[in-house]
Amino acid sequence: MTVAASARPFSQVDVFAPGPKAGNPVAVVHDADGLSTAQMQNFANWTNLSETTFLLTPTDPAADYKLRIFTPRAEVPFAGHPTLGSAHAWLELGGQPHNMEQLIQECGAGLVKIRRTNAELAFQAPPLTRSGPVEPATLNQVLASLGITADQVLGSNWIDNGPGWLGIRLESARQVLDLRPDFSVMGQLNMGVIGAHENGGPADFEVRAFAPGHGVDEDPVTGSVNAGLAQWLGSEGTVVGNFTVQQGTVLGRGGRLTITSEADAIWVGGSSRTVVKGHVTL
């Protein structure tokens, strides 16, 4: 088969996937220099995945590559599973980082570190652009959209690292799994909800992420929201040390994330595997 001169290498990568097609797919367009923002957004809308990314030549000499990230509706400065999936795809197509143990990604949120740990990649959680208590009116909207009462919420906080997240903590994983959101009430809010599994459960915590503001009612597995949740709960002492997260259960997925806390950083990791590889003409 002849590949058109205008075609660009393309990968679709399953991220945070402990098994085949269990995680969250990201579409990755390689060699994307020269594409316009409108072309990128149109393609992201067409893929209809939670995110589509475009790998470009970096403008910062410290970076290995530049990444632009689009939801079906808009560009976002940072997102977690696209970061890991794109790094995996870049390496797989022969990308050579400055440092073989660590990649540096340039994106709208600045420079993001990605390191290799065993068979996984992990990104360093970027600084939050917004934190602190959720305003009463917004919290009331959250409660109404999730169909829960204030006494069921153990904590709430803004955990925004780019996509506009706020975090809600419930007592148990079962409460998280039982949520039946009303997205017409949720409106443009984007939120992550976390609850603890019992000892011996499939992971330490269950997380669900709702992002109707980005055209994704429920995201299967979400690196950025887990990064924000870990920063918030770690700063409050609610979680101490490393832990694991399961996400995507309600959607028939089995996403798994590892959260590693160090003195000066939180790392969010998981496995990635390429499911589709070829070329795309935009």
Question: Which residues are part of the catalytic machinery?
Answer: 51
Q: Provide the 10 A C-beta neighbour count for residue 260.
A: 17
Q: What angle do CA 89, 110, 48 make, to 5 degrees?
A: 50
Cβ burial, residue 54 (10 Å; 0-12/13-18/19+): buried
User: Exposure string (b/e) for 74-111, b if CB count within 10 Å is 16 or more?
Assistant: eebbbbbbbbbbbbbbbbbeebebeeeeebbbbbebee
Residue type, 256: R
Q: Provide the 10 A C-beta neighbour count for residue 281.
A: 10
Backbone angles phi, psi at 11, to 5 degrees: -135, 145
Where do the H-state alpha helices sit in the chain?
37-47, 80-92, 136-146, 173-177, 183-186, 223-236
Taking phi over 0 as left and psi of -120 to 50 as alpha, with beta for the rest, 200 belongs to left
- Rounded Cα gap, residues 124 and 109, in angstroms: 12
